[in-house]
Chains A and B, each alone.
Chain A
């Protein structure tokens, strides 16, 4: 980053102040409070500032979380959900973007907009809809796909083996169009002379994809993958509305945020265990960071090798 004009931090402060202020107030303070909360006993009066019965129990809540089988269940569910979604969405969106890229310009815009539509709907509203879709034997998926292909109808929402699959399908349905739009724009941003050179050299379509199109979206794909991972870990609305706040049959659709919510607020399981929930969410964050770091490391290694 050479050649940029140098300024002192103080000169730039007026421009940065709103961000820094909001960052401290609504991110740093909650984080510190979360750490503090996670060290308290679940029985202290943390909801009422007047009650000064705060009792610190050290790492008790963390130990409790680590001994909680449901926490591991939620963790592995979330992992499957995120990895499954990302691995399906990225290639699918790339293929769609390339297909769109070969269309005429006007058609391209209209089609891209149509594909974007699922990403704009409220997940809550769509889950209700999906419930009817996946519902029992009469669901559309069973009627149009599963039965015509000669399988037994699948009870999507009741069969523990298929709840996760329906959640992943919902996520694919939602995000693929958005990612396709991003990829398409990236492809349109590739300088025209790349394609002229390819034409002159008589590149085959496959090597055109490998040598021009994939490098064109590589950076964006990484960004999208990170975004989808974080969004997947933080996803709540879809699963919450689809499964009514529970984890579904045998907790096979229990995601982390839903579980945190269940532990913290009555209505879920009614435990009202805020310190436990805080400890749980704080343990998730470093795991996500470590996971992303690992993925990036592997990517760098693959590039070198």
Chain B
């Protein structure tokens, strides 16, 4: 491909990707009147009023939303990484009866995602009396088909000699799994991040399962824009900016690890 073409393509896409974020950031300093002129990027004058009004909790409890999102996405991703890694390891390294069934179970979760089962999930949690509890949201996202496939693929590249030698030693599968854990740090981090990003965005299930007094960030933002006839638009932009920073930092820190793991993953 010619240099010029790829340069222009990249440049265009960079602008398209980043411009809305720049606009979002600068808009958090704008007045309503300025925001409704979207072609204008910079505010007349910078004042951080909107951030103050957001954080003092008059409109929504932003701090609570941030903590809820962190807690839910963090615990769900941690558990999902562990549970999927176990299954992926077994699928990649052992042959046993019921293997096809297990692969089928993982695939069908992808095909019929939780979003398609919201109504019965809501009813089921209602029956259990768990609605309003953040653990209900955490638990129903742990068994992940994507996770199982991700880890099956990554454990395939593990040298079989390792397993062979531990078999001679008579180690149990659990022991072998613990032995190889450190070798797979990039893979674990990568899946954790991917799951975290998806869970961080969960809207529908959170809308149904959580109480009004413990909202996650997507719900907090939705509530804020519902009340936008009272709250200045800049507050919504400030909330969007702040809700974006944690995940950006998280991905920024582990981006290198993620790339390593992903390039190993697609070898086969």
User: Which of B130-151 touch A at CB < 8 Å?
Assistant: 139-140, 142-143, 146, 148-149
Number of interface residues of B (CB under 8 A): 99
Provide the residues of chain A in CB contact with B7, threshold 8 Å: 99
Is A7 part of the binding interface, using a Cβ–Cβ cutoff of 8 Å? yes
From A18, A138, A186, A227, B146 is in contact (CB under 8 Å) with A227
- With A5-B167, A8-B96 as known contacts, state yes or no: A22 contacts B83, CB within 8 Å: yes
Is B17 part of the binding interface, using a Cβ–Cβ cutoff of 8 Å? yes
Q: A244-265 toward B: CB 8 Å interface, digit per residue (1/0)?
A: 0000000000000100110011
Provide the residues of chain B in CB contact with A117, threshold 8 Å: 17-18, 21, 248
Provide the residues of chain A in CB contact with B123, threshold 8 Å: 33, 37, 46-47, 274
Q: A1-33 toward B: CB 8 Å interface, digit per residue (1/0)?
A: 101111111011011101110110111011101
CB of B111 within 8 A of CB of A288, answer: yes
CB of B177 within 8 A of CB of A186, answer: no
Which segment, of B43-51, B54-62, B102-110, faces chain A?
B102-110
In the complex formed, the residue of A with least CB distance to B110 is: A230
Provide the residues of chain B in CB contact with A52, threshold 8 Å: none
Is A295 part of the binding interface, using a Cβ–Cβ cutoff of 8 Å? no
CB of B38 within 8 A of CB of A138, answer: yes
Is B192 part of the binding interface, using a Cβ–Cβ cutoff of 8 Å? no
In the complex formed, the residue of B with least CB distance to A32 is: B120
The minimal Cβ–Cβ distance linking B256 to chain A, given in whole angstroms, is 7
In the complex formed, the residue of B with least CB distance to A126 is: B20
CB of B6 within 8 A of CB of A5, answer: no
User: Which of A117-156 touch B at CB < 8 Å?
Assistant: 117-126, 128-130, 132-133, 135, 138-140, 143-144
Once bound together, how far apart are the Cα atoms of A236 and B140, in whole Å? 18
CB of B266 within 8 A of CB of A219, answer: yes
Number of interface residues of A (CB under 8 A): 107
Could you write out 16 A-B pairs with CB less than 8 Å apart? Answer: A15-B87, A15-B90, A18-B83, A20-B105, A26-B121, A27-B114, A34-B120, A96-B13, A116-B251, A123-B201, A140-B19, A185-B259, A189-B266, A227-B146, A240-B204, A261-B204
| Contact surface of A with B, Cβ cutoff 8 Å | 1, 3-9, 11-12, 14-16, 18-20, 22-23, 25-27, 29-31, 33-34, 37, 46-47, 49, 92, 95-96, 98-100, 102-103, 109, 111-126, 128-130, 132-133, 135, 138-140, 143-144, 173, 176-177, 181-182, 184-186, 188-189, 205, 209, 216-217, 219-220, 223, 226-227, 230, 233-234, 236-237, 240-241, 257, 260-261, 264-265, 274, 277-278, 281-282, 284-285, 288-289, 292
